[in-house]
Amino acid sequence: MKRNATQRSSTDAEIHAPSFQAVLDSRKRKVPGLWIRNGRFYAQLRVDLGNGRTAPRRIALVAENLDQAKAALEKTRTEKRAGTLPKPGHRPKFDDFAAEYFASATFAQKKKSTQGIERQALHRWISHLGGIRLDKITAPMIHAYREQRLALGRMARTVNLDTVAVRNVLKLAVAAGHIERLPETKQLKQKPAQRRPLLTGEQFAALLAACRPDVTKNAALFAFYLRFLALTGSREKEALAVRWQDVDLSREIVTIGAEGIAKNHKTRDVDFSPELKSLLAEMFTARPPDSSWLFPSPQRGAKDIHAKSLRESLNAVRAAAGLPWFGFHDLRHLFASRCVMAALDYMTIAAWLGHSDGGILVGRVYGHLNDSHKKAAAQKLNFFTEEAK
């Protein structure tokens, strides 16, 4: 009986489909547990299916020759004994596992703002990798998507952040045993961020002078806020969440991050400088009696809540002061740089800023000094004059 074209093609495909072959050593002896198909080596192990039964399973090895294959086979056996082999069975698709990542404790521990950024990035990845099984995701697939993003005009830093997001999902997949390792990807080269100018004393005075009722209705509160940022090195959200109970007038310290809002979720103490002590005394005298916060919300009504944002005041005040580039974080730079110029040790400055690196970041990022200070410092150098005398 004649076969039709469909039958012939199906049967021929089965006949010519590559099959697993036992691997032989140089003496033509079979290497136990080692197989090859289409030039790729596989380890065959008996694995636990998780239901009380075991079954043979072939695992692809990264090897180009017999010696490498033997070494990879032994490594796989070691992973089996250690219980670190990927779990057998069906691998979830990227979009399904991304949903598991969103529901994970790893994701829940991140700040809400970070969660929002990651969600946006991963939803873009889902449109690219959604229906692909985790174990089928390769480095070229990730590279192709990054090239698409760059072609749309996205900055290398943005694309790198996208890559961090997808790697976070795949790291969880490794921990869950769905894949053995992460696809190899390299960070794209980023242009170094342009160094912002260091705010001068005159410019800071101009900002405070612009804190007028005709510029912003929260003029007094905003002036206090700017001074507090400059004298403590606090970040925008950290400062807003400081209560009066965090201010210890007897010990002369203010605790930052008591509400768990600090970047590293740790509290830190900033010691009073004479100016900070004077500022807090002014603020204490002017504090509303119905609020426990240093910066209560102007719209709090009957609720005792702190201000969520003072960005509207920022926009109005910096426009009035003629400083459109100014941002709240510039005051953190100002604090750190003034500390450096006052010859304070970097470990103390780092402790006030909430850094745990002993001052490395202070020197690299926050310690940029103004020109007048550097020129004055240079005049103090004296290498040879004393010897000539």
CATH number, domain containing residue 219: 1.10.443.10
- pLDDT of 39 strictly over 90: no
Domain membership flag for residue 12: no
Instruction: Tell me the mean pLDDT in the region 353-360.
Output: 82
Domain membership flag for residue 388: no
H helices of the chain, where? 5-16, 66-82, 94-102, 105-108, 112-129, 139-151, 156-175, 201-209, 219-232, 236-240, 274-286, 311-321, 329-341, 346-353, 360-361, 371-378, 385-388
Q: How confident is the model at residue 91 (pLDDT cuts 50, 70, 90)?
A: confident
Domain count of the chain? 3
Phi, psi of 254 (to 5 degrees): -120, 130
- pLDDT of 183 strictly over 80: yes
Who contacts 45 (Cβ-Cβ below 8 Å, separation ≥6)? 33, 56, 57, 59, 76, 77, 80, 85
Torsion angle (degrees, nearest 10) of CA 301, 304, 306, 308? -50
pTM for the structure as a whole: 0.59
Q: What pLDDT, on a 0 to 100 scale, did the predictor assign at position 80?
A: 82
Spatial distance between the Cα atoms of 68 and 235, rounded to a whole number of angstroms = 53
Give the lowest-confidence range in 42-51, 104-113, 215-224, 289-298: 42-51
One domain, residues 270 and 304: yes
Most confident of 47-61, 132-146, 189-203, 359-373: 132-146
Percent of the chain whose predicted confidence (pLDDT) is above 70? 86
Q: How confident is the model at residue 341 (pLDDT cuts 50, 70, 90)?
A: confident
- pLDDT of 318 strictly over 90: yes
pLDDT greater at residue 17 or residue 139: 139
Dihedral of alpha carbons 133, 135, 141, 142, sign = positive
Residue that is last in its domain, among 56, 82, 108:
82
Q: Give pLDDT tens digits for 247-261.
A: 999 999 999 988 776
Instruction: Tell me the mean pLDDT in the region 155-162.
Output: 92
- pLDDT of 38 strictly over 60: yes
Q: Give pLDDT tens digits for 101-132.
A: 999 988 998 888 889 999 999 999 999 998 89
Q: How confident is the model at residue 362 (pLDDT cuts 50, 70, 90)?
A: confident
Domain membership flag for residue 192: no
Other C-beta atoms within 10 Å of 272: how many?
Answer: 19
- pLDDT of 320 strictly over 50: yes
Domain membership flag for residue 384: no
One domain, residues 171 and 224: no
267 and 255 Cβ atoms separated by less than 8 Å: yes
One domain, residues 247 and 117: no
- pLDDT of 376 strictly over 50: yes
Q: Give pLDDT tens digits for 56-80.
A: 888 888 888 999 999 989 988 888 8
Torsion angle (degrees, nearest 10) of CA 59, 65, 71, 76? -10
Per the structure, the complete domain to which residue 58 belongs is given by 18-82
One domain, residues 221 and 242: yes
Spatial distance between the Cα atoms of 327 and 352, rounded to a whole number of angstroms = 20
Q: What pLDDT, on a 0 to 100 scale, did the predictor assign at position 262?
A: 65
One domain, residues 246 and 311: yes
Give the lowest-confidence range in 142-151, 159-168, 169-178: 169-178
Mean pLDDT, rounded, of the chain:
85
One domain, residues 141 and 32: no
pLDDT greater at residue 267 or residue 382: 267
Instruction: Tell me the mean pLDDT in the region 152-167.
Output: 93
Rounded alpha-carbon distances, angstroms, from residue 132 to 95, 126, 135: 8, 9, 8
Who contacts 323 (Cβ-Cβ below 8 Å, separation ≥6)? 203, 206, 207
Domain membership flag for residue 277: yes
User: Quick one: angle between helices 219-232 and 274-286, nearest 10?
Assistant: 150
Which two three-digit tokens encode residue 157?
């830093």
Instruction: Tell me the mean pLDDT in the region 333-343.
Output: 88
Spatial distance between the Cα atoms of 362 and 295, rounded to a whole number of angstroms = 28
